[in-house]
Amino acid sequence: MKQGKPAVFFDRDGVLNIDHGYTYRQQDFAWMPGAIETIRYFNELGYYVFVVTNQSGVARGYYSEQDIDILHEFMNAELKKHGAHVDAFYYCPHHPQGKVERYCMICNCRKPATGMLIQAFQEWNVDLEKALLIGDKISDIQAAEAIGIKGYLFTGVSLYEFVLKSIFDNE
């Protein structure tokens, strides 16, 4: 079996984009400072780049799964202009207090559960020992730890500076 590739998992809202609350429209989307450079950096290092994001706005009836897909296509189109890309987007549309019945549930994909991470590991040849997750909430870090990868809590302003200082200075 061939050796897997390293992977970085990013939470979306609050890490890759400024979290305005339930972001799903292009006109409301604003990249976090340093996010594009960070994704390109990981691309250049040979990492898979994944997004794992809780999107309870679907369960709450604020927007649809199609709206999420459209926004993620927009994000990758913008990244392409800068020589970067996300390999795959994973999202959880569920929430136990949702208003849309088919999404109103406790699931195995909503972080801190590991379903989105497990799905990525099943679909891609990831080296688990060289995988990491960057999130802005404790639930992100809990998901990383539950699956056995390193989690980094992003609390800064520039994602690129955070990555250089917090991740690559420690190796």
Clarify whether 87 is annotated catalytic.
no
Is 69 known to be catalytic?
no
- The single residue of 13, 87, 136, 140 carrying the catalytic annotation is 13
Distance of alpha carbon 171 from alpha carbon 169, whole angstroms: 6
Amino acid at 15: V
CA 46, CA 137: separation in Å to the nearest integer? 26
Rounded-to-integer distance, Cα 98 and Cα 95, Å: 5
Q: What angle do CA 135, 123, 107 make, to 5 degrees?
A: 55
Phi and psi at 37, nearest 5°, equal -60, -35
Q: Which residues are catalytically annotated?
A: 11, 13
